[in-house]
Structure 1
């Protein structure tokens, strides 16, 4: 700094940096004029003029008579990126490390980010509250566990690049989205047992989200297309915070007597379900890195596809949001 700044000058500098960061401005881009700045902030012309002079003295902007002011450097950007992954505490009942799917995803993202020479932070949010002040200190924010109850409006307050992992909002056109498509995996399962007249019990999640709705649709479509002669039954479960509430699941197993149970399963249910049945049941849940039979995601391959896209998008915040889809596989 060229000289000590008053709090008002610091506040205006902070507001301008937030605005320019959000707009994706880079060195060489033109910034607003003094008159334009006074229109969107609550500072006087005297404060605005002095703040711009200080920014010029610090080598951050260059002012040219008759042409305007231009950025010379972007202090909020660094050679290495600060990337945070935040999960929804409202739906991951026992914490993220009590859920093997999310745990392995966190490990894969952290490994990839740190190996690339960047910083990684892990945090959480709720449906009604997000740590915007922490997110603002980061370059990129990855959110997972978004549901229909999560307030999308909260995300509009952060200057960081926002990416939604797996659980993507229906109205997510302003954010990067990285989905996992289970359509092919469902199709492979039905094709694998086609003609055997099996009974399939699909466990749908009570936690409502666009992703949950889409997976159910993909399951039904795959059944009709690949094995319409088999019988399916669909029940709702809470695989996160309703782990011990299994009375309805028990009734479905004993009454429907499925050959295959698939969908949203808690890891503790595998042995329980097998114990309830009088015959051998095939159990296929959503999982990461094929720890057992099921619908699986290779995290190393997935993250290797995702991170370069994130980095590239960070270098040009004006580019269109990313919409990436990774196809899960069926592991019988």
Structure 2
């Protein structure tokens, strides 16, 4: 059977690049109907191409694993094996595809969204059989939905074995199953500040109800709302002559966003275009949130007359334009001179 090997070998670009640097590639076929499992290896495979499966397929199927080995060298470094990809193939060959849709088109290969934004998941299943003579395991697959918090990190080195099982269901027919969510399913003391991922996986469904082989898996990263503090100004305070130094703390600006601080004369009004403060703005061009602290020491130079003024922090994301924080205050620089006139007679 050629198709599983052709599929796996197509993922061998990394191994091909590494071959000249002392890497060796092989494909392992793991027979799933035996206990303990028996495996066969197809050694010294090229990075691309086709080959014959080492063993025939049974109804229980086989798991194909694409491995590359960094060979030992003369410096004493031991050989190291890397698992590049896996594929499950059986005589009845169920297949699944998962596509996650968010309102953010810039996520790339890994979709992303924000805690307050909706997203949907399309799960397409094919190859399921019907009929009394079809094996029970060929009639359905199982869909699992896991959630996992990143804590205070951005998901580096996350251990996905520690994820929480949020939901599961059995799919018994070919076609598309669509799941829709109004916001994230992550939980936390302050839902606006949680960060993590939601993972959707499809597995074969064995006769005894156990999970067998993974057919497809995708996850979406979920980022928190941006949080802002304006320090140094007091709401409604009147300032004379010297303006205080202002510090703005901005946590978790959303990826690919533009966040800026502006000032304008008058009461707060959504949509007002003010004067942007150069040292208190940031255009983000990265795939994870960013935090910054801005210090404004020359606020007084931007105020040209007395009266009420408003300082705002605004962000522009794929979700729209939003005001994150504001402060309104009064400026009175007038000098009042009082004198007492008297006459001597």
State TM-score, norm by structure 2.
0.26
Higher Rg of the two aligned structures? 2
TM-score, normalization by structure 1: 0.27
**Larger relative contact order, structure 1 or 2 (CA cutoff 8 Å, min sep 6):** 1
Question: Is the helix fraction higher in 1 or 2?
Answer: 1
